[in-house]
Structure 1
Amino acid sequence: MTHILRIDSSIKTQGSISRQLTDDIVAKLLAAHPKATVTARDLGANPLPATDANWLVAVNTPADKRTAEQAEIAAQSDALIAELKASNVVVIGLPIYNFALPSQLKSWLDQMARAGETFRYSEAGPEGLVKDTRAIVAYSSNGTRMGSDIDFASGYLRHMLGFFGITDVQFVASDHYAIDAEDSLKSANDDIARLAA
């Protein structure tokens, strides 16, 4: 059965283009796979804690040797990793803030970047451990064109997903909304129409 993990990271709960696009992408996937299940995580409304020294110690301490506080800290990261590994498709809302990805989305990536869990080091270099998962990213910006010299978000997100083992990554882009809202949304909707469900 198909399982979809939906990640929204916009701090706007109303009027968010990336949320509108993730809505439309998930709707398309569900139309093609009516029995699919969806897990939704709203990082904009419910931000994750930033990683810090206590987090680093907690996740690198063997589970049977963690203190109660360390176990609680690690449990959040463990849950996020389990959600990702359980999904066949991850749909990510990527609004562009100051030419980069939101800190909320960066925190999600940081929580999951754990050796032995989402990647491992081998003689050939890092190897991603999240296999057979596809990612569809809803890129939204008022004027930062995806792939341009000032886009510091899409390449980074693609790299991090690949680092985790997710190499089938597709983008849907509404990247000039403040310049021409109608054309920007049409471009994104055309991208969605071309997606294989």
Structure 2
Amino acid sequence: MKTLLQIKTSLNGDNGQSSYLSNEFVTRWKAQNPDGKVIVRDLAANPVPHLDGERFNAFLSSADKRSASEQKIIDYSDQLIEEIKAADAVAIGLPMYNFGIPSTLKAYFDHIARSGVTFRYTENGPEGLLPNIPVYILAARGGIYQGIQADSQTGYMKTFLAFLGLQDTRFIYAEGLAMGEDGKTNALNTAVNEIESTVAA
């Protein structure tokens, strides 16, 4: 039985365009995998705490010297990491906020980037420790940014995920969503068609 991890990040919940696209992806994935399981991680409804000194120090602590509160932080991080390890694929709904990724997604990333757990440094450089499953990124933008310097998301997402071992990143963009209703409709329809062909491949 295959498992898909769906990560939602829109502040507007299921009313957000990125959530719409990720939900469309899930619908088509389930049609292709009727016995499959979908794990939903909604970072707007249930945000991951932002990184602070206590959490950062807990990640650096050795298992035999952790306090009870530090162990609770580690257990929470481990749960997030185990969701990824249990998945055969990941679908991330990604809106663009102020030219970047949502802060809730950055907080999530800060909890799954753990030295010795999801990556390690070797004499040849960093090595990702997560299995290289495909990560589908459904990017929704009000303007048009793909391929220009203002697109800070694509390079960051590729770099971060590859650092953990997730090198198979596949982007589907819906852009110009705030540039008129016709453009919005066309962009969403084009993205959904791309989702359908991607999942069916």
Query: Per the shorter chain, which TM-score range?
Result: over 0.9
Aligned to 1:60: 60
In the TM superposition, what is the alpha-carbon distance from 1:196 to its structure 2 partner? 3.7
- For 2:4, the aligned partner's letter is I
In the TM superposition, what is the alpha-carbon distance from 1:145 to its structure 2 partner? 2.2
Aligned to 2:149: 149
**Matches of residues 24-43 of structure 1 in structure 2 within 5 Å?**
24-43=24-43
User: Kindly, what percent of the aligned residue pairs are identical?
Assistant: 37
Greater helix proportion: 2
Paired residues of 1:144 and 1:150 also in contact (CA < 8 A): no
- For 1:140, the aligned partner's letter is A
**Matches of residues 1-150 of structure 1 in structure 2 within 5 Å?**
1-150=1-150
Task: Classify the secondary structure of the residue corresponding to 1:182.
Answer: helix
Deviations 1:162-187 (A, max 9, x none): 11111111111111111211121122
In the TM superposition, what is the alpha-carbon distance from 1:14 to its structure 2 partner? 4.6
Task: Classify the secondary structure of the residue corresponding to 1:173.
Answer: strand
Task: Classify the secondary structure of the residue corresponding to 2:39.
Answer: strand
Q: In the aligned structure 1, how far is the partner of 2:132 from the partner of 2:178?
A: 36
Q: In the aligned structure 2, how far is the partner of 1:156 from the partner of 1:14?
A: 25
Bigger mean CA offset, 140-149 vs 124-133: 140-149
Show structure 1 runs of 5+ residues with no match: none
2:192 is the counterpart of 1:189: yes
Deviations 1:28-82 (A, max 9, x none): 1111111111111100121111111111221222223211111112221111111
Paired residues of 2:14 and 2:20 also in contact (CA < 8 A): no
Paired residues of 2:177 and 2:184 also in contact (CA < 8 A): yes
Q: In the aligned structure 1, how far is the partner of 2:45 from the partner of 2:155?
A: 25
- For 1:137, the aligned partner's letter is I
TM-score (norm: length of structure 1): 0.95
Moved over 4 A (4+): none
In the TM superposition, what is the alpha-carbon distance from 1:24 to its structure 2 partner? 0.7
**Matches of residues 144-183 of structure 1 in structure 2 within 5 Å?**
144-179=144-179, 180-183=183-186
Deviations 1:103-124 (A, max 9, x none): 0111111111111111111111
Q: In the aligned structure 2, how far is the partner of 1:144 from the partner of 1:117?
A: 37
Bigger mean CA offset, 115-124 vs 55-64: 55-64
Aligned residue-pair number: 197
- For 1:58, the aligned partner's letter is A
In the TM superposition, what is the alpha-carbon distance from 1:19 to its structure 2 partner? 0.5
- For 1:185, the aligned partner's letter is L
Q: In the aligned structure 1, how far is the partner of 2:25 from the partner of 2:60?
A: 36
Paired residues of 1:173 and 1:191 also in contact (CA < 8 A): no
Paired residues of 1:96 and 1:144 also in contact (CA < 8 A): no
- For 2:85, the aligned partner's letter is K
Paired residues of 2:25 and 2:196 also in contact (CA < 8 A): no
Q: In the aligned structure 2, how far is the partner of 1:23 from the partner of 1:72?
A: 32
**Superposed CA RMSD:** 1.3
